[in-house]
């Protein structure tokens, strides 16, 4: 599992899951700031996979940050990500996420 301490959705909407492969509890995150898992109505601080809520013609980008306040190692995703470690994210924790999309 990956721990997430805060999320900022810049635009668009995302479905996040607390387990890899789009399984487990789902959370719909829309534009805004989520400083802790209680703000996105989570039962815990785990996030194992995510995908954009897609609409025709929209493009999305997700940036994961190792450090707090959007610092440290950053990895970018532009498509579904069923398992973060399978994409090269070798950390146990994501401390911040930025989400961009042209559909907001």
Domain ranges of the chain: 3-101
* Tens digit of each residue's pLDDT (9 = 90 or more) over 33-45: 988 878 777 777 8
Tell me the CATH architecture of domain 3-101.
Sandwich (2.60)
Number of Cβ within 10 Å of residue 20's Cβ equals 18
Please tell me the least confidently modeled range out of 2-16, 21-35, 49-63. 49-63
- For the stretch 58-90, pLDDT in tens is 677 889 999 988 999 999 988 878 888 888 888
Q: Which of 77, 74, 86, 92 is nearest to 1 (CA)?
A: 92
- DSSP assignment of the chain equals --EE--EEEEEEEEEEEEETTTEEEEEEEEEEEESSTTTTT-SSSB--EEEE---TT--EEEEEEEETTTEEEEEEE-S-BS-TGGGT---SEE-EEEEEETT-
- Is residue 1's pLDDT more than 50? no
Q: Give the separation between CA 30 and CA 48, rounded to whole angstroms.
A: 18
> Which pTM does this prediction carry?
0.53
């Amino acid at each position: 599992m990956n721990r997430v301490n805060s999320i900022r959705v810049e635009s668009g909407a995302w479905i996040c899951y607390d387990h890899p492969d789009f399984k487990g509890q789902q959370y719909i995150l829309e534009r805004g700031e989520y400083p802790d898992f209680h703000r996105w109505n989570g039962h815990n601080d785990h996030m194992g996979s995510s995908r954009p809520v897609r609409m025709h013609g929209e493009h999305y980008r997700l940036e994961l940050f190792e450090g707090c306040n959007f610092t440290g190692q950053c990895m970018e995703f532009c498509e579904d990500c069923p398992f973060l470690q399978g994409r090269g994210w070798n950390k146990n924790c994501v401390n911040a996420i930025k989400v961009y999309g042209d559909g907001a």
